[in-house]
Amino acid sequence: MSVATRDTARTLPAPVVGAGGAWWSLDHYDAPALVGNQGQRRFHVMVKPGGSHCNLNCQYCFYLSKETLPNGPGPGRMSDAVLERFIAQYIAGVTGSEVVFSWQGGEPTLLGLDFFRQVVALEKKYARPFQRIENDLQTNGTLLNEEWCAFLKENRFLVGLSIDGPRELHDQYRVSKGGKPTFEKVFNAVRLLQRFGVPFNTLTCVNRTNAQKPQEVYRFLRSEVGATYMQFIPIVEYKGFEKTAPNQWDYAALPKDGAPEARPGHADSIVTDWSVDPDDWGRFLCVIFDRWVQKDVGRILVNHFESLLSQHLGEGPQICIYNECCGKGVAVEHDGSVYACDHYVYPEYRLGNLTNTALDSQVFSRRHVKFGYAKHETLPEYCRQCPYLPDCWGECPKNRILRTADGEPGLNYLCRGIKKFFAHAIPQVERIVADLRHQPRQTRKRM
Ligand code: SF4
Ligand code: SF4
């Protein structure tokens, strides 16, 4: 988030005298705001210019319900004025050498090509000479055509394509508004992206069904889609997630790890029916890891494996769930509202609106920094004693919906699977890391 580390933050004097002689205490949550832009400030924004509006009705989608969330962002489309302020503020707020715009939704292609032509023009208008501007577009692919692909190629967009595996697995949950399958259209997008040479990653939501078919999913993505970067995201949805923000749960009612209610499918389960079973999640990663280790190391990038390698090389995780703290990425909605994270678009986690408070002051505000540190500070004792703590850090706080065997709340729903994966993969990762240490750094970066 900032050059200010918690150690430097702790050396700050407290209390201090404020304007008019008022006294208040400072602590490490204030450090980024105090350091200001004297160091390099990096943060990332996922922007939803069309809100949660989408042409599909994927059963597990956690974002469609934002349209009806009380005091939420509601429906709408980003106005020209908000778009320009967002682009100007984001570019001005990041002082590092790279600014990455991640366009999401909902389905961002519904905004039309002219909207994105305007995006590129505004980025050029506000770009500073020392900065590289990059764009990602996360899409369901169903509206991509030749004109879109030519634009994406010409403007160097990186596409994230949502695809859940071969036809029968993809069509299980990824359906149109009328409940029709979408595989054909998505696979057509794969062919188009390849024909136009548009770089793309795959994003596969690992749910209760496809989690049981890791070999089929990996083979399909590798050999039929030709994916060279695969992202696997576990579907974990607290029942009632549509209205209840993370950490607003009824803690006393959270089931203990291993209880039938701590798995999908039970009448009183804590999660939706389509959420991945925690043991299946671990097995899914282990099976794919073995296949990847045999043939694909350095050739195909898989988000969880790259991150683990990077961590064991001492270069930190590549995905936020394995970071010690959150707070490096915010979500911006169509009306300019800023939220603590893409998974925290709830009124309780709304930081403000960029039309009246600059984006970077919200990102480095005491409130948001506190949100970031909470990931570490709220870890249950069970995690603090865990041998995998430096690899896991309790995974994503939105998934901490279980109690430990001795009743402490805050255990991650996926813990059983995460442990299984780490126990299986880490010895092999250590061997790969030992080999990599003998290779030039250039080659290592590719890993
Ligand atoms: S809340 Fe979860 S998704 Fe958001 S930054 Fe933290 S770990 Fe990442
Ligand atoms: S593996 Fe489980 S116990 Fe260990 S840090 Fe992760 S969530 Fe906590």
Q: What is the pLDDT of residue 437?
A: 87
Is 85 near ligand 2, meaning CB less than 6 Å away? no
Label residue 155 by pLDDT band (50, 70, 90).
very high
Cis amide prior to 50 (ω within 30 degrees): no
- Picking from 269, 308, 268, the residue whose alpha carbon sits closest to that of residue 285 is 308
In the chain, the percentage of residues whose pLDDT exceeds 90 is 86
339 contacts 351 by C-beta, under 8 angstroms: yes
The tens digit of pLDDT for each residue in 246-282 reads 999 999 999 999 999 999 999 999 999 999 999 999 9
Strand bridging mode 350-353 / 337-339: antiparallel
Mean pLDDT, range 9-36, rounded to an integer: 55
Is 321 near ligand 2, meaning CB less than 6 Å away? no
Is 1 near ligand 1, meaning CB less than 6 Å away? no
Answer whether residue 8 shows pLDDT above 80: no
Q: Higher-confidence residue: 405 or 440?
A: 405
Active-site choice (164, 342, 360, 391): 342
- Token digits of residue 366: 């005491």
In whole angstroms, what is the distance from residue 262 CA to residue 199 CA? 39
- Picking from 425, 171, 208, the residue whose alpha carbon sits closest to that of residue 306 is 425
* 93, amino acid identity: G
Q: 0.85 cut: is pTM over it? A: yes
Q: What is the pLDDT of residue 38?
A: 63
How would you classify residue 255: left for phi > 0, otherwise alpha for psi between -120 and 50, otherwise beta? beta
Task: Give the distance (Å) from ligand 1 centre to CA of residue 321.
Answer: 6
Q: What is the pLDDT of residue 24?
A: 55
* Cβ atoms < 10 Å from Cβ of 244: 14
Is 401 near ligand 2, meaning CB less than 6 Å away? no
CA dist 41 to 6, 93, 311, 350, Å?
15, 7, 22, 21
In whole angstroms, what is the distance from residue 198 CA to residue 155 CA? 10
CA dist 94 to 38, 104, 353, Å?
12, 20, 18
Segment among 35-44, 221-230, 319-328, 386-395 with least mean pLDDT: 35-44
Catalytic annotation present for 342 = yes
The tens digit of pLDDT for each residue in 107-124 reads 999 999 999 999 999 999
Label residue 2 by pLDDT band (50, 70, 90).
very low
Q: Which of 279, 324, 383 to mutate to test the pocket of ligand 2 (most atoms within 8 A of CB)?
A: 383
The tens digit of pLDDT for each residue in 29-51 reads 877 777 666 667 889 999 999 99
CA dist 440 to 303, 325, 428, 447, Å?
22, 30, 20, 12
Task: Give the distance (Å) from ligand 1 centre to CA of residue 218.
Answer: 25
- Picking from 275, 193, 198, 279, the residue whose alpha carbon sits closest to that of residue 236 is 275
Which residue is closest in CA terms to ligand 1's atom 6? 326
